[in-house]
Structure 1
């Protein structure tokens, strides 16, 4: 049977302004490529101004094999370059990588914390430290010292529950509290992204100062 001819609606095309920057010379960083995209303004009426409009924009940052991007739909009267340059680095970093933390769980850190616990409990230092359990005999300490080697292979807090018996012998029934606080190390991905963000902000501010001069 013949199909009914349909008239497709015309495609909608919007044009935006894109600026590309290449930043070099930042300490301990490869060249950084930044794409700044301004989408114009959108209606955003307020109680005091029903005709108020706010700017929209997106930033994409590439450094070596990493890439991050963020979009803002309410930048006020500023361009995305002006907006990013003025914001604090923690805010920009979180927009680029939501939920990233400056520290992260580490099996190596858990193992080091377990060793510290055994040494202090064996040396009868429980009165000076907040361990739930009391002192250890030399034989108990020696056995635990061998057992805790498995902790280096733990990759996440959830995996700790597979070693609940061992962790209970070390830290007591509420072992998850000290583990959550102490089995952590610096998150190098966070530190790296912070250096990238700060380099980008410094470059944007430098450019704005040159334009204003």
Structure 2
């Protein structure tokens, strides 16, 4: 049997506006290697790093950006499909295909590009518009993927309107609170 010992720091963070009690557990497994567990309101996120330089895992978490940590701790996407806006987004795109839209000059190009002018006849645009009015897109557009492909093209899912993901924003707020607690703890230790 092999037994190893590691150094564990547990922080309980309370009185954060809009958040329940946060538990942060930092475990330094060995030099340059550690893991973190964050928990708030029954939801937990964890990660392990094996290349932190000379920092402890708490120092490492305190020094990294919230976005990096959120992406490392969770598979949540920063933005999600805005299901309520799929219909209006599709209608706007139909208008662009009918009327065209201008792409401004970039990087020294002297002329602008006009894209989509006349790609749809008035009759085709009206038919698509009517289909969009009657369509049920579901949460992510896949319920009417044939229609969206005709409007946006083969990779239509990249054109769908998005909105901030509330789960990602929640995790971001938890990470921010943990980092502030780590800074506060470091300042108190420096004063002692």
1:187: which partner in 2? 165
Aligned equivalent of 2:74, options 85, 90, 97: 97
For residue 185 of structure 1, give the secondary structure of its aligned residue in structure 2.
Answer: strand
1:163: which partner in 2? 145
For residue 30 of structure 1, give the secondary structure of its aligned residue in structure 2.
Answer: coil
The runs of 5 or more residues in structure 1 that have no matched partner are 1-10, 42-54
Decide which structure has the larger Cα Rg and report it.
1
Name the count of aligned residue pairs: 177
Contact 2:87 2:133 in 1 (8 A): no
The alignment status of 1:59 with 2:36, answered yes or no, reads yes
Q: How does 1:64-213 map to 2 (within 5 A)?
A: 64-98=41-75, 100-118=76-94, 120=95, 126-128=99-101, 131=116, 133-134=119-120, 136-137=122-123, 140=127, 143-148=130-135, 150-151=136-137, 153-155=138-140, 159=142, 163-164=145-146, 166-171=147-152, 174=153, 176-177=155-156, 179-213=157-191
For residue 25 of structure 1, give the secondary structure of its aligned residue in structure 2.
Answer: coil
The TM-score with structure 2 as length reference comes to 0.77
The TM-score with structure 1 as length reference comes to 0.70
Contact 1:103 1:186 in 2 (8 A): yes
For residue 100 of structure 2, give the secondary structure of its aligned residue in structure 1.
Answer: helix
Give how far 1:84 is off. Answer: 0.9
Q: Which runs of 4+ in 1 moved over 6 A?
A: none
Contact 1:109 1:185 in 2 (8 A): no
For the structure 1 residues 170 and 74, does the alpha-carbon distance in structure 2 shift closer, same or farther, using more than 3 Å as the test? closer
